[in-house]
Amino acid sequence: MPVTQHLTHTPAQPTLAPHHVHKHNPAEVLLTGYDTLRPDTYTVTAQWPTHHPFYTPTPHLNDPLLFIETIRQCFPLLAHNAYHLPHGHHLIWQYLTADINPHAMHHTPHHPTHLTLYITCSDIRRRQNGHLTALTLHAIALRNGTHLGTAQTRFSAHSPTIYQRIRGNHPQTPTTPPPPTHPTHVGRHHPHDVVLSPTPHPHHWTLRNDTTHPTLFDHPVDHTPGMLLLEAARQATHATHHHNNHNHNHNHNHHTALNTGASPEPTTVTATGTATATLTRTPTRTPRLTTPPTPPPYPTHIHATFLQFLEYTTPTHITTTTQPGPDTGPSATTTGTTTGTTTTHITATQNNQTAFTSTITTTPHP
């Protein structure tokens, strides 16, 4: 039998107080309460807003990182309330693995989305004084009884004294982020939501740490937030697909123009001798070569490992490689595009050291 709910809410206060999930802005809180089912097993309820200013829906589907942020908020909620970790202790992300069912992620623009998460905590570590130092969180999320996703993640916890010993002295003066890449290349609508800056090299970007961003930097932190790194991985995945598809469509259109006898450009021929004549040959017919826009591929599996702190005052480099999935179409090996799943490997380096890695598997948009 469930025990009495530790945290409750009323219709006038649908979400928990921000400090329970390490947020300052109440609008960023996604969790509404939790119950203890038995030791180390809990249910957590969540509500997604109809419109979030940053985790905006893709066509007809909720943002997959909205699910990741929901999982992230579960850790401080349970660490402080179920495991009595004092407020002021620092939580450090170690890894995350999540699988998402896109068919349960449909966006309802006129009604909030309600979730129930069944959570089990394991590999729980404590100090001699009883304070929590680490645990692994396993979550199963349901939406109206439909399986929405699963996640496993691990955090460590440190007192302010130990955290200061780990971090040492580091600059915290914000710097002006480099210019953003084009928003549509990374699946965004507004430049201020772009976390990647272009470089001359394909599949290579510089991370943008915009400390004025109201969601990613909801409160002051002394390093690049984990959710910013996950957003960078997602945007880099989108940009990689955009680059591959752009090259494929360009090559396809050029090949089609040649095969139809149409010249891609008007041709000018100049003859010289006793007289000079210029002949301009215009193609007799120019095919209309347009590619209808297609929704971006949707992330269904996300794995991330946080290896070390990333300083937002030091340049961070993001690179990607891709690997077609087993159910790809015949054009995958020649064009770099797939008709099935594709796995993108993302790496973040700083000072020539790997600090963050991620893999994101995407499928065609349902």
Cα–Cα distance for residue pair 164/210, rounded to 1 Å: 24
Q: What is the pLDDT of residue 287?
A: 45
Supply the pLDDT for residue 292: 47
Residue 54: per-residue pLDDT: 96
What's the pLDDT at 7?
A: 53
Question: What pLDDT score was predicted for residue 366?
Answer: 74
Q: How far apart are CA 318 and CA 331, in angstroms?
A: 27
Q: Identify the pLDDT of residue 323.
A: 85
**Cβ atoms 302, 97 nearer than 8 A:** yes
In degrees rounded to 5, what are phi and psi of residue 278?
-115, 125
pLDDT at 288: 46
Q: pTM of this prediction?
A: 0.82
At residue 15, the pLDDT reads 86
* Structural domains of the chain in order of their starting residue, each with its CATH number: 1-166 (3.10.129.10), 174-252+294-366 (3.10.129.10)
Q: How far is CA 96 from CA 99, 152, 154, 206, in A?
A: 10, 6, 7, 23
Cα separation, 38 vs 43, whole angstroms: 10
Q: Which residues contact 58 (CB under 8 A, 6 or more apart)?
A: 187, 295, 296, 298, 365
Q: What is the pLDDT of residue 94?
A: 98
One digit per residue, the tens of pLDDT, for the chain of length 366 reads 333 344 544 333 478 999 999 999 999 999 999 999 999 999 999 999 999 999 998 879 999 999 999 999 999 999 999 999 999 999 999 999 999 999 999 999 989 999 999 999 999 999 999 999 999 999 999 999 999 999 999 999 999 999 999 998 876 777 789 999 999 999 999 999 999 999 999 899 999 999 999 999 999 899 999 999 999 999 999 999 877 666 544 444 444 444 444 444 443 434 344 444 444 444 444 444 444 456 678 999 999 999 999 998 899 999 999 988 765 443 333 333 345 899 999 999 999 999 999 999 999 877
What pLDDT was estimated at residue 282? 44
